[in-house]
Chains A and B, each alone.
Chain A
Amino acid sequence: MNIFGFAQQFFDAPGRWSGADGIPTRLLEHVQYSALALLIALVIALPVGLVTGHTGRGGNALAVLATAARALPSFGLLVLLTILMGLGLTPVMVPLVALAVPPILVTTYEAMRGVDPSLVDAARGMGLPWWRVLGQVELPVALPLILSGIRSGAIQIVSTATIAAYVSFGGLGRYIVDGLSQVDYAKVVGGAVLVAALALATLGFFWLLGRVLVSPGVRRSR
């Protein structure tokens, strides 16, 4: 049987669409972990990126921090924290947040740096205080790039939230981890298809978000 056969077998299985191990429940769990991790990452990375980008200081420190965070293996971190702290939400959240902070931080910094200085000058010349320069001039212009950073962070979180199942959590990774240990290949393939689909849906969500949030003038000039 090929992949498609396995996938079909998975989706056709009885009880697949309801109950505690049904697809809707697992999907909701996966979205919840991912959204929480992204929210924490945003709260950490966005203000730091905006302020350092606005002032233009600390770029090198950010680059070093980003490399260090990228070098940390998410899966290893998950297992290590689980052993040290026991089963819980923190060991799952820390690696996911660490995964999303570097892309959000670095892209936000770069996006703010890339704003045309003459625009900022003009805004200052009009007597705008720094927070309005940041919020009403730099942020809207830098938004498309900032969103792309958040998008790549979000996609990495969604893909990686799969590993939460390895330490007894739910989510779509449940199917992959259980399938592997039960040697139920259809289950593994079905889980993989669902995670990939959710990641692509995330891509679509951010595309829509860009259409809604980015000012039409900025979109046209790009």
Chain B
Amino acid sequence: MSHGGFFEVPSDLQNTWWGLVSWQLQLTLVPVLCGLVIALPIALLCRRFGWIYPPVLGVATVFYAVPSLALFVFLIDWFGESDLTVEIPLTLYTLVVLVPAIVDGMRSVSAETRAAAEAMGFGTLRRYVQVELPIAVPAVFAGLRVATVSSVSLVSVGMLIGNEGALGNLLSDALNYHRPLLAWDAVISIAVIGVLLDALLVLARRLLTPWARKATAK
């Protein structure tokens, strides 16, 4: 076997480079999507009942302070060394970024717009979903970008809990076999995936908010 191809993964990892990449994407995107699905109702509740927002923000900040490795380790107790052990902490971190992003975005809707929706006979829930949420899309996407890019790079720490780090698993082999190329491979691949996902999110935001483009074109 030749040592050295960039896309050549040592056999002890029992995976191909593409396999590691898709695993990395799964460990990143599952938490971000779950985080978004959980964050939306929480944000709507915070919007409806303003008093719960400060305590929610407080709990979120405390969660964010707990290191990823520590959370991974706590969860080994329940889920063993599995994908879930990595995905659950990442979902929590995503929530910490997304809930404030959605709430602040919805708060930025102007009073005139809100009054217009009310005058058209929109109920509270309908106003949140059909008026405030679409206007908050840029803020939500700003949050999604931070959450996604940080998740991509956090996944690699999963290597420490029994090779649950997708592309990060290349790092232990890089150290053990002293093969710098494997470390370059991990760092470059992860960074490129992060930048590409970020670019995709920017594109998605543009498609979802056609009015913003018209406004700047004027």
Contact = CB atoms under 8 A, between A and B. Distances in A.
Interface residues of A, number: 40
Given A67-B195, A73-B152, A192-B73, A79 B65 contact: no
A204 to B, nearest CB: 10
12 contacts: A70-B149, A70-B194, A71-B191, A73-B153, A75-B156, A76-B186, A80-B180, A80-B183, A159-B69, A159-B70, A176-B73, A192-B70
Contacts of A180: 160-161
B156 A192 contact: no
A39 interface: no
A177 B67 CA distance: 14
Interface of A: 2-3, 67-68, 70-77, 79-80, 82-84, 152, 155, 158-160, 162-163, 166, 173, 176-177, 180, 188-189, 191-193, 195-196, 199-200, 202-203
Given A180-B160, A192-B74, A84 B67 contact: no
A166 B184 CA distance: 18
Given A71-B198, A73-B190, A202 B70 contact: no
B73 A79 contact: no
Interface residues of B, number: 40
Nearest to B198: A67
Q: Is the interface of A mostly helix, strand, loop or mixed?
A: helix
Interface of B: 61-62, 64-71, 73-74, 77, 145-146, 149-150, 152-154, 156-157, 159-161, 168, 171, 174-175, 178, 180, 183-184, 186-187, 190-191, 194-195, 198
A83 B152 contact: no
